[in-house]
Structure 1
Amino acid sequence: MHEQRILAQIRELEGVVHRLERVRDAVGEVDVQRLEDAGAGHWAGQRRVAFKTVFDEARSSHARISSEIGDAIGDCKSKQRALAGSINPLEHPLLSAEAYLIALN
């Protein structure tokens, strides 16, 4: 049944969303300022400047990663909603309801 495959895709995307949320949480737990403070104390002069330059690039990448993970989660949720909308609620009311329940959470 085509609708069953759609529901399976919605569930699969929900698993992806949960994994992405765990990664986003782990990225968010990284205390970038603490790492910078700890690392900067080991360098002096030009090496400290070089460390700070590289660390600023890493800080920017860290912020971008969090944003990109959020975008990926949003894309998955959008795809789930689109898939849920493709199940005819008149022909398959239970599957449609389940699909929307998953997609809208």
Structure 2
Amino acid sequence: KARYIVVLTRSGYTARTMSHFRPDVPILALTSNPKTFRRMNLYWGAIPLYVGKDLFISGELDDLQNLLLKGGWIENGDRLIIISGSSRRQGGTNLLRLHEVKIRG
């Protein structure tokens, strides 16, 4: 079972859609947009996190993992479902990835 559904969003649309389904797993909703961050506080099951930069490129998975590790949200062996919106247009979701946290070193 996944520990979190991690949603990377600018507009909040993807987080709102996931919230609508009321999953058994908490939704960590990351955004770099202050307005979206405030709005996501109203979404069922969502824990909004404000990040200083966009983490929308799939190659930046290490950055995302490190951010969540430093914040104490995840630990070694946790499973995550990562969902990301399109980096080119608002309201599009084009990445779904299953990820197991592996700490090197």
TM class by shorter chain equals under 0.3
What TM-score do you get using the length of structure 2 for normalisation? 0.21
What TM-score do you get using the length of structure 1 for normalisation? 0.21
Judging by fraction of residues, say which structure has more helix. Answer: 1
Judging by fraction of residues, say which structure has more strand. Answer: 2
Q: Name the structure, 1 or 2, with higher relative contact order (CA <8 Å, separation 6+).
A: 1
